[in-house]
Amino acid sequence: MADFAKFDAYVRAHTAEYVDELKALVRQPSVSAQGIGIDETAAIVLDRARARGGLAADALRVSSGPPTIVGQAGTGARTLLVYDHYDVQPPDPLDEWDTPPFEPTERDGFLFGRGVSDNKGNLMARLQAIEAYRATIGDLPLRVRVLYEGEEESGSVHLADFVRTHGDRLRADGCIWEAGYKDAAGRPTVSCGLKGIAYVELHVRGAAKDAHSSLGTIVPNAAWRLVWALATLKNDRDEITIDGFMDKVRAPTAADLQALERLPFDEDATRRIHGITRFVRGLTGLELKKKHFYEPTCTICGIVSGYTGAGSKTVLPAVASAKIDFRLVPDLTPDIVATLLRAHLDRRGFTDIEVVAGHGESPSRWPTDSVAARAAVEACRATYGRDPVVYPLMAGSGPMAQVCDALRIPVVGFGSGNASSANHAPNENIAIADYVDHIRAFGRFLHVFAGLAL
Amino acid sequence: MADFAKFDAYVRAHTAEYVDELKALVRQPSVSAQGIGIDETAAIVLDRARARGGLAADALRVSSGPPTIVGQAGTGARTLLVYDHYDVQPPDPLDEWDTPPFEPTERDGFLFGRGVSDNKGNLMARLQAIEAYRATIGDLPLRVRVLYEGEEESGSVHLADFVRTHGDRLRADGCIWEAGYKDAAGRPTVSCGLKGIAYVELHVRGAAKDAHSSLGTIVPNAAWRLVWALATLKNDRDEITIDGFMDKVRAPTAADLQALERLPFDEDATRRIHGITRFVRGLTGLELKKKHFYEPTCTICGIVSGYTGAGSKTVLPAVASAKIDFRLVPDLTPDIVATLLRAHLDRRGFTDIEVVAGHGESPSRWPTDSVAARAAVEACRATYGRDPVVYPLMAGSGPMAQVCDALRIPVVGFGSGNASSANHAPNENIAIADYVDHIRAFGRFLHVFAGLAL
């Protein structure tokens, strides 16, 4: 039997050093959307992968993409792929941060800074876990491969090409994905996939320029055209009504529904957090969870037309725009959404509405009983002393399909985040205790995934 | 027979002096929305009414309202009320003016400046016509009363009270309203009423604050609520579908429709001006004119929710707002609209949508064969050498009901504006020739309205 008490003691003894190493990585900005600090950060990550993780690692590029770090260490029957990214979201709005985003700061047991949760913390914790494993348990009993991307926050535009070119260095029997969070009640969670996303903009032009509103009788109004078109996409029961859209949604199986029955979901806490008295359609219980985890969304993220300042202006707007975000479950893809949406609008005479496809990612869903998933559950149980909550899909999105569907690698996700980690927002944070626990959990995960007993 | 050739010669001889007098009035800003120069302008107008028009005039106030000028001159069987306003719209956006708004400037036969068209030009022209009439034709053969308001551009909030208090100084057999324009083809027009207006804002609050769009499955979205509610107000055939709304629309009579058949309406020119290939519903001919002149509107003037900047943001908006402008025909009123709209939304479960009533004015429609209307047509025919186009209602709005419906005075409107006068916009203008013609037309109108032959 491996001595994980010794492993834990080692991690405790090195906590200050590990946190300092994370702080050094956070202190280096790496904002892919603004092209800030990408090469510098890649160099640090490559060095840490070699020095801390003992990986044989390289920084590679495809076409004009950023450096992508790949590496491996250990030998064994099974191979695990670790996916993380070293780039971060822009820190704006700066004035809402209590301490500067790139000056990592400890406060009340939490570490604040851009990227501590998404995703430099998990990246660093996993390398540190490999070191601690070697120092206390022994040689790695499996092959660990890493894939550290530098433009996850900018749409991962080169990743599919990278996987096609360098797939042989990425093949594995299971993958741990970047993120994982404790839920609002503090329960550890394990997820087995991500929803996809299709972000589109709708643009309408009516008259050549804004007109006086007295012409509302006879001159087409871009705002009305947009409202009418939008109202055909989803009805006021919150049912997506795009022709053929819901036909593409794979229904949950009986086993999925049984698991969903058991899955805890704090309705009161969720309503309280969002300041609402009821969920859409008044849903509750299993139906609510089913909609949240197994159904796609069609969300107006923004809409604007005409005069929106104070007071009144009697204007007939010439242009109108909306931004719509579809969260996708299998078997929807961004291409399917774009095709169905265009056909749906054309069929109803909305040929005047331009659809501009933006960021898109396919959903990626994996069995909850894969070797990786079962190992994650066992590792979390041993680390946290309780069963983790297993989600079939996380509601967020990421380039999982480009990697794991392309290479057919079952995925699991767990990590050091919490329900208020504020990813993409000011005061991004993780608890130091959760960071340490993720090192502990990942060390155990390596062991169990390799086929060994805790 | 009166010698209007002599009248015309007198006006021609005094044109430079008359235009200078108008320029002096325009040079004095009088922006009621910003409380700028109202008392100063009222003093100038009172002085001009006495000196130029020879009126016994006073500046009166009700409660905290601005000075309102009333006055009268002449004797005769008939009494004419002249309604004008001395306040103007704010001049913004200043950088779009070719010459400063309060430095009246002649260029290519036009006079540019804030208020030259709306409505200081007509106010001054009519006083100058009274002087020219006296100088060339003789004593006024009728009683002329004036009502010069100082807050028409700010909703005329004290006017109804003023009319209740001082109605005895306003009673008349006919009224000439402030505005009148040549149409796009240069034809003089005469109108016999105004549409009303009801400006409302709709506000929706969903969650307490914006949420991550992955919660679009279960957290109510304010933007969607607003879109769904709006889509129940008017359908994509441009038919207003508010319960009971269209029942309040008085249908045009057979005589109205016959007049409408004859009314010229330049469809090609109108489409060209607005850069559109077809009117709403593909309408043309009588049906198009019927919708424009005899139907109300429900126009989205502005709508905003969520993220409207560049790029994408995956946000679920907590608040959404729309500004809606209803142009009203008889027998709709702002109160009826507010009541029907609230009941309509409540009946469909949109109790979460707040309706805030803004500026409102009732429609005011008068016979096209009143003494005033017939006198206007005859005066215009004599002045311009062609029949004017007679509109049943102008598509714009104003406080006509507060004055003329309250006192039951048939109204007519004609004036010195043109189809590109740019009221409320930068580079407001009138043609000097149109200004002179309005003096000529108004002199003749006084004569005919008094029952005399030209």
ipTM of the complex: 0.90
Verify that B190 and B74 share a domain, yes or no.
yes
| First-to-final CA distance of chain A | 7
- Residue-wise pLDDT tens digits, B371-396: 999 999 999 999 999 999 999 988 78
- Domain of residue B164, residue span: 4-194+364-449
Higher pLDDT, residue A357 or A33: A357
Number of Cβ pairs closer than 8 Å across A and B?
232
Please count the structural domains in chain A: 2
CA distance A170 to chain B (A): 29
- Residue-wise pLDDT tens digits, B34-93: 999 999 999 999 999 999 999 999 999 999 999 999 999 999 999 999 999 999 999 988
Q: Which residues in A lie closer than 8 A to residue B320 (C-beta atoms)?
A: 303
Q: Place B302 in a pLDDT band, splitting at 50, 70 and 90.
A: very high
Verify that A157 and A73 share a domain, yes or no.
yes
Look at A208 and B275 and tell me if their CB atoms are within 8 Å: yes
pLDDT for B329 equals 96
CA distance B228 to chain A (A): 6
CA distance A40 to chain B (A): 26
Judge whether A255 lies within some domain.
Answer: no
Residue A250 phi/psi, 5-degree rounding, is -75, 125
For the residues B243-249, what does the mean pLDDT come to? 98
Q: Which residues in B lie closer than 8 A to residue A280 (C-beta atoms)?
A: 217-220
Judge whether B331 lies within some domain.
Answer: yes
Q: For B395, which of A209, A214, A306 is closest by C-beta distance? A: A214
Judge whether B283 lies within some domain.
Answer: no
For the residues A65-78, what does the mean pLDDT come to? 98
Question: Of B303, B336, B361, which residue is a domain's last?
Answer: B361
CATH code assigned at A209: 3.30.70.360
**d(C-alpha A454, C-alpha A5), whole Å:** 11
- Nearest partner of A379 among A188, A193, A173, judged by Cα: A188
User: Which chain A residue is nearest to residue B324, measuring alpha carbons?
Assistant: A314
CATH code assigned at A107: 3.40.630.10
pTM: 0.89
**d(C-alpha A191, C-alpha B163), whole Å:** 73
- Residue-wise pLDDT tens digits, A10-68: 999 999 999 999 999 999 999 998 999 999 999 999 999 999 999 999 999 999 999 99
- Residue-wise pLDDT tens digits, B280-290: 999 999 999 99
Share above pLDDT 90 across residues of chain A, in percent, rounded to a whole number: 89
- Residue B320, Ramachandran bin (φ over 0: left; ψ between -120 and 50: alpha; else beta): beta
Q: Which two tokens stand for residue B350?
A: 């949109």
**d(C-alpha A121, C-alpha A35), whole Å:** 21
Q: Does the pLDDT value for residue A187 go beyond 80?
A: yes
Judge whether A454 lies within some domain.
Answer: no
User: Which chain A residue is nearest to residue B397, measuring alpha carbons?
Assistant: A214
Judge whether A289 lies within some domain.
Answer: no
pLDDT for A325 equals 95
Q: Which residues in B lie closer than 8 A to residue A325 (C-beta atoms)?
A: 213, 216, 312, 314
Verify that B133 and B240 share a domain, yes or no.
no
Verify that B351 and B368 share a domain, yes or no.
no
- Residue-wise pLDDT tens digits, B166-215: 999 999 999 999 999 998 889 999 999 999 999 999 999 999 988 889 99
- Nearest partner of A411 among A227, A173, A70, judged by Cα: A173
Question: Of B307, B337, B361, which residue is a domain's last?
Answer: B361
Q: Does the pLDDT value for residue A395 go beyond 80?
A: no
pLDDT for B397 equals 85
Q: Which residues in A lie closer than 8 A to residue B227 (C-beta atoms)?
A: 227, 230-231, 300, 303
Verify that A176 and A107 share a domain, yes or no.
yes
Verify that A125 and A50 share a domain, yes or no.
yes
Verify that A138 and A242 share a domain, yes or no.
no
Look at A211 and B274 and tell me if their CB atoms are within 8 Å: yes
CA distance A266 to chain B (A): 13
pLDDT for B189 equals 96
Look at A303 and B304 and tell me if their CB atoms are within 8 Å: yes
Verify that A370 and A429 share a domain, yes or no.
yes
Q: Which residues in B lie closer than 8 A to residue A316 (C-beta atoms)?
A: 299, 301
Look at A303 and B305 and tell me if their CB atoms are within 8 Å: yes
Judge whether A128 lies within some domain.
Answer: yes
For the residues B224-243, what does the mean pLDDT come to? 98
Q: Place B114 in a pLDDT band, splitting at 50, 70 and 90.
A: very high
Look at A215 and B291 and tell me if their CB atoms are within 8 Å: no
- Nearest partner of A278 among B304, B203, B349, judged by Cα: B349
Q: Place A419 in a pLDDT band, splitting at 50, 70 and 90.
A: confident
Judge whether A283 lies within some domain.
Answer: no
Question: Of B338, B361, B384, which residue is a domain's last?
Answer: B361
Look at B312 and A325 and tell me if their CB atoms are within 8 Å: yes
User: Which chain B residue is nearest to residue A238, measuring alpha carbons?
Assistant: B217
Verify that A331 and A220 share a domain, yes or no.
yes
Judge whether A277 lies within some domain.
Answer: no
Verify that B406 and B339 share a domain, yes or no.
no
Verify that B225 and B209 share a domain, yes or no.
yes
DSSP labels for A222-281? HHHHHHHHHHTTB-TTS-B-STTTGGGSPPPPHHHHHHHHHS---HHHHHHHHT-SS-GG
Verify that A409 and A340 share a domain, yes or no.
no
Q: Which residues in A lie closer than 8 A to residue B275 (C-beta atoms)?
A: 207-209
For the residues A156-169, what does the mean pLDDT come to? 96
Look at B314 and A199 and tell me if their CB atoms are within 8 Å: yes
